[in-house]
């Protein structure tokens, strides 16, 4: 018979293994779709030619095979070995040794915990880097999406690492301190602290952190800028600033979003969303492949109408509330479980040694894994519902045709494959597929919703 620590360890390993097998099974189903579906769907035949469809099919197939390989290496081999051989316990023991060697107090859990977090993050970079390099310079490069030079990539990784440590290490120190002094109800103080930190980061990220990684420029005065302000005013969206981010230096994929929790907000457009990246057609910086790509002004407005729908319908606020509730429940579960010795022994720590950070990681990542999976699926279902609602909001503003055109154009520009296995899509996609969204827009039109072109 296994002792409690062995039962805990093998239960965690078995669930994570079975979850990975499920994800691989779903990916295999989608790979079968890529292999079997070789003709353009009837709904897209007027805008998508066979060559583009084939490129999208091959791109999707390559990504799926890469995803399968990564799951095998990371989730089956590395993760299972790390759990079985007590990787976190090894890193903790090494952190204690290093703390003593560099003059820190090895008896201080806060000091050792910060060092542990730093070492774990450094190891994580080395584990993830081969996959990042392959994904960027092989997979995305092969299909024409990578725009990063090696120098840009290296600088980006260094900046990401420095910013991440500047944020996570102080939070880790405060986390340990609150648990140590918080008493029986420390989880309440912990939740309040993390909630405040989250809201502060959401507020300061677009102003102070995002510009570290990408160049932002104000949207030039003109018809599009005026139309966006008019659209925002029509739904009483407190728009302050309009920016274009040079996402084309990183990738050819397109996007748009708005930021700001309180008061005045800003809208950010990726330059890849705009026709000719928002530049004159004769701009010397435009490559031949960039010319003509992007959405027309009315289509950009339709995309923004969809995003404003998320705001107007309260989706952003609802997501924040749900996330905060989830964090509260996680901290509550942590407070009930973190003193259970077999959890620590299961990952290789000596009996009686219970580092707070390791306890939190084991509970959140492994013990609560079944709960996290169910919540993730529920959030995916809710997100898809929100997407349909936001599409409906855009259509009620009269952007039905333009939104449909924008969805198709983004699908083409991003080489998105339009056909998905229903199980794979339900598990993985927070957005309905483009065919599902077009069908919903069509059905709403039949129900009498107005269109901008009517």
> Which segment, 209-218, 293-302, 328-337, 395-404, is predicted with the most confidence on average?
328-337
The predicted-structure confidence for 352-372, as pLDDT tens digits, reads as follows 999 999 999 999 999 999 999
- Tell whether 199 is covered by a domain: no
Comparing C-alpha atoms, which of 229, 234, 184, 253 is closest to residue 413? 253
CB 33 within 8 A of CB 420: yes
Whole-number Å distance between alpha carbons of 332 and 321: 16
- Tell whether 285 is covered by a domain: yes
Q: How many domains does the chain have?
A: 1
- Whether 391 is a known active-site residue: answer yes
- What pTM does this model have? 0.88
CB 14 within 8 A of CB 366: no
- Tell whether 264 is covered by a domain: yes
- Tell whether 253 is covered by a domain: yes
Comparing C-alpha atoms, which of 435, 438, 433, 397 is closest to residue 305? 397
Candidates 109, 140, 299, 307; catalytic one: 307
CATH of the domain at 233: 3.30.2010.10
The predicted-structure confidence for 192-238, as pLDDT tens digits, reads as follows 999 999 888 888 888 888 889 888 888 888 899 999 999 999 999 98
Q: Which residue has the higher pLDDT, 409 or 393?
A: 393
Whole-number Å distance between alpha carbons of 318 and 336: 27
- CA 117 to the chain's CA centroid: 22
Name the residue range of residue 273's domain. 216-294
Q: Is 143 annotated as a binding residue?
A: no
pLDDT at 454: 44
CB 136 within 8 A of CB 375: no
- Tell whether 231 is covered by a domain: yes
Whole-number Å distance between alpha carbons of 346 and 7: 8
Whole-number Å distance between alpha carbons of 249 and 145: 10
What six digits make up the tokens of 125?
């970079």
pLDDT at 175 over 90: yes
Which residues are bridge partners to 239 per DSSP?
265
Q: Is 387 annotated as a binding residue?
A: yes
- Tell whether 201 is covered by a domain: no
Other Cβ atoms less than 10 A from the Cβ of 197: the count is 15
Cα distances from 308 to residues 95, 181, 316, 437, in angstroms, run: 47, 43, 10, 17
Name which of 139-143, 236-240, 390-394 the model is least confident about.
236-240
Whole-number Å distance between alpha carbons of 47 and 139: 26
pLDDT at 291: 67
- Tell whether 259 is covered by a domain: yes
pLDDT at 453: 45
- CA 166 to the chain's CA centroid: 21
- Tell whether 312 is covered by a domain: no
What six digits make up the tokens of 163?
């910013």
pLDDT at 70: 97
Q: Which residue has the higher pLDDT, 274 or 176?
A: 176
Which residues are bridge partners to 243 per DSSP?
218, 268
- Whether 221 is a known active-site residue: answer no
Whole-number Å distance between alpha carbons of 111 and 97: 12
Candidates 391, 401, 402, 421; catalytic one: 391
pLDDT at 441 over 50: yes
Cα distances from 219 to residues 149, 273, 402, 423, in angstroms, run: 26, 13, 21, 41
DSSP for residue 220: P
Comparing C-alpha atoms, which of 330, 323, 328 is closest to residue 363? 330
pLDDT at 448 over 70: no
CB 272 within 8 A of CB 248: yes
For residue 128, what is the enclosing H or E element? helix 109-134
């Amino acid at each position: 018979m296994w002792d409690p620590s062995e039962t805990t360890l093998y239960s965690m390993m078995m669930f994570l293994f079975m979850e990975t097998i499920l994800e691989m099974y779903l990916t295999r189903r989608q790979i079968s779709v890529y292999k079997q579906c070789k003709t353009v769907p009837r709904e897209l035949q007027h805008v998508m030619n066979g060559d583009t469809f084939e490129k999208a099919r091959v791109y999707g197939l390559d990504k799926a095979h890469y995803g399968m390989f990564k799951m095998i290496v990371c989730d089956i081999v590395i993760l299972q070995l790390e759990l079985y051989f007590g990787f976190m316990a090894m890193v903790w023991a090494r952190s204690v040794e290093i703390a003593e060697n560099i003059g820190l107090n090895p008896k201080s859990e806060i000091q050792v915990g910060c060092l542990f977090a730093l070492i774990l993050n450094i190891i994580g970079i080395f584990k993830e880097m081969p996959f990042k390099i392959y994904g960027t310079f092989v997979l995305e490069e092969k299909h024409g999406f990578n725009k990063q030079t090696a120098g840009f990539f290296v600088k980006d990784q260094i900046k990401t690492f420095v910013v991440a440590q500047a944020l996570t290490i102080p939070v880790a120190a405060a986390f340990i301190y609150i648990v140590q002094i918080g008493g029986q109800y420390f989880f309440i103080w912990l939740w309040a602290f993390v909630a405040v930190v989250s809201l502060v980061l959401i507020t300061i990220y677009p102003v102070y952190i995002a510009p570290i990684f990408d160049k932002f420029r104000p949207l030039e005065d003109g018809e599009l800028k005026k139309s966006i302000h008019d659209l925002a005013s029509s739904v009483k969206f407190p728009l302050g600033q309009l920016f274009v981010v040079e996402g084309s230096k990183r990738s050819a994929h397109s996007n748009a979003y708005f930021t700001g929790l309180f008061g005045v907000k800003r809208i950010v457009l990726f330059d890849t969303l705009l026709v000719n990246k928002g530049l004159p057609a004769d701009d010397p910086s435009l490559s031949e492949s960039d010319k003509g790509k992007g959405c027309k002004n009315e289509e950009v407005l339709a995309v923004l109408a969809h995003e404003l729908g998320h705001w107007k319908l309260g989706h952003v606020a609802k997501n924040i509330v749900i996330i905060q509730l989830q964090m509260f429940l996680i901290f509550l579960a942590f407070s009930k479980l973190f003193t259970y010795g077999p959890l620590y022994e299961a990952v290789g720590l000596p009996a009686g040694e219970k580092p707070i950070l390791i306890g939190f990681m084991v509970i959140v990542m492994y013990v609560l894994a079944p709960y996290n999976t169910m919540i993730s699926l529920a959030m995916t279902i809710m997100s898809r519902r929100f997407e349909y609602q936001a599409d409906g909001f855009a259509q009620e503003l009269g952007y039905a045709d333009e939104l449909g055109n924008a969805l198709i154009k983004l699908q083409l520009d991003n080489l998105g494959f339009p056909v998905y296995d229903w199980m794979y899509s339900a598990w993985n996609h927070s957005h309905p597929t483009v065919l599902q969204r077009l069908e919903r827009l069509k059905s709403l039109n039949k129900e009498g919703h107005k269109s901008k072109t009517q």
